[in-house]
Amino acid sequence: MAVYRQELLEEALCEAVKRNPHPANKIDGKRSEQYWLEAFSEANVDKHQACSFFRNFQLESQAVKFEYQAVADEINIVILNKNPAQSEVVSLSSKLKALITTKAKGQQTSAASKLLTFIKPHDEVYIWDKYANQAVRWRNRVQKGLRDYYLDPDENHDYSAYVAASHLAFIAERQKPEFKAAVLEFDSRTQRERGPISDRQKIGFQFLERRLFDKLMYLEGQAIAKIKVSRQAREKRNDSP
């Protein structure tokens, strides 16, 4: 992946900046990420905001829909409590699964981790995503004691194992000069928007680092998936008579 690194980092920076205009502005019809930092700063989230968040972050589909008033109630409970974000992701994932109104009732670790990213911006939250999973596994494949797949014996998402692996990858990434430079550029460009992300009393600098890291992991995972597909296609051609 080293050959693609600079390109992916630049793309991650562009995406991070693009998604963080002033809270009142939208991008491609979607709310600014800064809007969610503001909306989740107080426990008065309504069902329309809950629905908007799930649609903005592609958590709703034809197969998976939610009871959004109940979802909003759960979000407000999390905003008010003082529990660590990591345990909240696990708890909220289970509660969101119970609020699905369609037949498909998959695990909601992705939804819970995305919500907690903006509800508790000072806590160390890593977004659970199939592409981010691939990227983190690839980065930590040579680390001893790390499982390759973040599932428990019952095949449930093991978020604590994923956080542990993501943390190692994050610590290594934030030491790299090019990543540091990208974070400073992200900070500089969002400062101009005068939203909550520019207020260090509200949003710590590490939130910017993690947000850029999340986007980089997503893009790296996508690239890895494409490479795997290409390799499989090539092997299939070579095996043909």
Digit-by-digit pLDDT tens for the chain (241 residues) are: 677 889 999 999 999 999 999 999 999 999 999 999 999 999 999 999 999 999 999 999 989 999 999 999 999 999 999 899 999 999 999 999 999 999 988 899 999 999 999 999 999 999 999 999 989 988 877 555 455 556 666 667 899 999 999 999 999 999 999 999 999 999 999 988 889 998 888 899 999 999 999 999 999 999 988 987 776 666 666 665 6
List the helix and strand counts (H, then E) for the chain. Answer: 10, 2
Q: How far apart are CA 15 and CA 103, in angstroms?
A: 34
Structural domain harbouring 228: 2-239
Q: What are the C-alpha distances in Å from 202 to residues 62, 70, 89?
A: 36, 27, 21
Q: What are the C-alpha distances in Å from 11 to residues 122, 133, 143, 167, 168?
A: 25, 19, 27, 22, 22
Closest CA to 159 of 204, 114, 203: 114
Q: Does an H or E element contain 90, and which?
A: helix 85-98
Number of structural domains in the chain = 1
User: 3-state class of 20 per DSSP?
Assistant: coil
Can you read off the two tokens belonging to residue 119? 């509800």
Q: Classify residue 200 as exposed, middle or buried by CB count within 10 Å of its CB (0-12, 13-18, 19+).
A: exposed
